[in-house]
Structure 1
Amino acid sequence: MNRPARLNRVLLAILGLLLLAAGLLPIAIRSGWLPVLGPDRPLVPGTALPPTWVLYAAAVAGLVVALAGLRWLAAQLTRRPRARIWRFDTDPATGSTELSSSAAAKPFVEEVRSYQGVHDATAVLLGNRAGPALEIVVSVEHDGDPADIRTRIRTEGVPRLRQALDLDSLPARVELRFTAATGARVS
Structure 2
Amino acid sequence: MRRGVIALDRTVGVVVALALIAAGVLAVVWWHSGTPHQLTLHTPPDRTQATWWPWATGAAGVVVALLGLWWLAAHLPRRVNGRFHLTSRVGAGRLFADAHAAVAAAAADLSAHPEIRDASGRVVADRGELVADLQCTIEPSADLEKVRVAVTQAAADLHAVLGLPRLRHRVRLRVARNDRTTAPPRVV
TM-score range relative to shorter protein: 0.5 to 0.7
Distance 1:60 1:140, change over 3 A: same
TM-score, normalised with respect to structure 1: 0.63
Relative contact order: is structure 1 or structure 2 higher (C-alpha 8 Å, sep ≥ 6)?
2
Question: What residue is the counterpart of 1:79 in the other structure?
Answer: 78
Instruction: For structure 2, list consecutive stretches of 5 or more residues without a partner in the other structure.
Output: none
Aligned residue runs from structure 1 range 37-52, under 5 A: 39-45=39-45, 47=46, 49-52=48-51
- Give the Cα–Cα distance (whole angstroms) in 1 for the partners of residues 59 and 71 of structure 2: 18
Question: What residue is the counterpart of 1:113 in the other structure?
Answer: 111
Q: Deviations over 1:112-166 (max 9, x none)?
A: 233313543314388xxxxx96533324347145554233222x2133334445x
Distance 1:67 1:8, change over 3 A: same
Question: What residue is the counterpart of 2:12 in the other structure?
Answer: 11
- Give the Cα–Cα distance (whole angstroms) in 1 for the partners of residues 60 and 130 of structure 2: 43
Please state whether the residue corresponding to 2:52 is helix, strand or coil. helix
Q: How many residues align?
A: 172
Instruction: For structure 1, list consecutive stretches of 5 or more residues without a partner in the other structure.
Output: 127-131
Q: What is the root-mean-square deviation in Å for CA atoms of aligned residues?
A: 4.2
- Give the Cα–Cα distance (whole angstroms) in 2 for the partners of residues 5 and 142 of structure 1: 35
Percent of pairs with identical residues: 22
Question: What residue is the counterpart of 1:152 in the other structure?
Answer: 150
Distance 1:39 1:157, change over 3 A: same
TM-score, normalised with respect to structure 2: 0.62
Q: Does 1:137 align with 2:128?
A: no
Distance 1:17 1:57, change over 3 A: farther
Question: What residue is the counterpart of 1:184 in the other structure?
Answer: 180
C-alpha displacement of 1:68: 1.0
The answer to whether the Cα contact below 8 Å between 2:116 and 2:147 also exists between their aligned partners in 1 is yes
Bigger proportion of residues as strand: 2
Distance 1:61 1:152, change over 3 A: same
Question: What residue is the counterpart of 1:129 in the other structure?
Answer: none
C-alpha displacement of 1:78: 3.0
- Give the Cα–Cα distance (whole angstroms) in 2 for the partners of residues 162 and 71 of structure 1: 34
Q: What letter is aligned with 2:149?
A: T
C-alpha displacement of 1:43: 3.2
Please, which moves more after superposition, 140-149 or 106-115?
140-149
- Give the Cα–Cα distance (whole angstroms) in 1 for the partners of residues 13 and 130 of structure 2: 31
Question: What residue is the counterpart of 1:101 in the other structure?
Answer: 99
C-alpha displacement of 1:72: 1.5
Q: What letter is aligned with 1:160?
A: D
Q: Deviations over 1:13-40 (max 9, x none)?
A: 434545x38966x969x87x9xxxx921
